[in-house]
């Protein structure tokens, strides 16, 4: 679904299940490695799923903090937010901001 929406709106196609950490086996649900932007889909928000139980929550914090330390920007959404397309504008803005930063750095 994310891939098709990106294609339809002219955004780059993401890499699915991208392994981002050099030592850990952590993966992002969707990633744009050239922009260091990722989307994580947080399931089980309303049913006490893995991401909302204490151990899963703490593990996710470790993963996301490690990602930030490696220069990644991680957007997090529920499956419902993904289906509703709430991520599209955020991703487009972040990509625009990232490309604008790169052009400014090149000066």
Domains of the chain: 2-87 (3.40.960.10)
> Is residue 57 pLDDT above 60, yes or no?
yes
Average pLDDT estimate for 22-32: 96
* pLDDT of the residue at 99: 63
Average pLDDT estimate for 84-100: 87
* pLDDT of the residue at 49: 55
pTM for the complete prediction?
A: 0.81
CB 37 within 8 A of CB 30: no
* pLDDT of the residue at 98: 63
* pLDDT of the residue at 65: 97
User: CA 13 from chain center: how many Å?
Assistant: 13
| C-beta contacts of 69-72 below 8 A and 24+ residues apart | 70/20, 70/21, 70/36, 71/36, 72/20, 72/28, 72/36, 72/37, 72/38
């Amino acid at each position: 679904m994310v891939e098709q929406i990106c294609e339809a709106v002219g955004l780059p196609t993401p890499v699915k299940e991208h392994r981002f950490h050099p030592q850990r086996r952590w993966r992002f649900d969707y990633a744009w490695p050239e922009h260091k932007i990722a989307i994580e889909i947080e399931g089980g928000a309303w049913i006490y799923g893995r991401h909302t139980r204490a151990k899963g929550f703490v593990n996710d914090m470790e993963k996301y903090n490690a990602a930030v330390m490696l220069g990644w920007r991680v957007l997090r959404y529920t499956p419902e937010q993904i289906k509703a397309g709430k991520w599209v504008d955020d991703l487009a803005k972040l990509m625009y901001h990232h490309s604008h930063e790169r052009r400014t750095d090149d000066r």
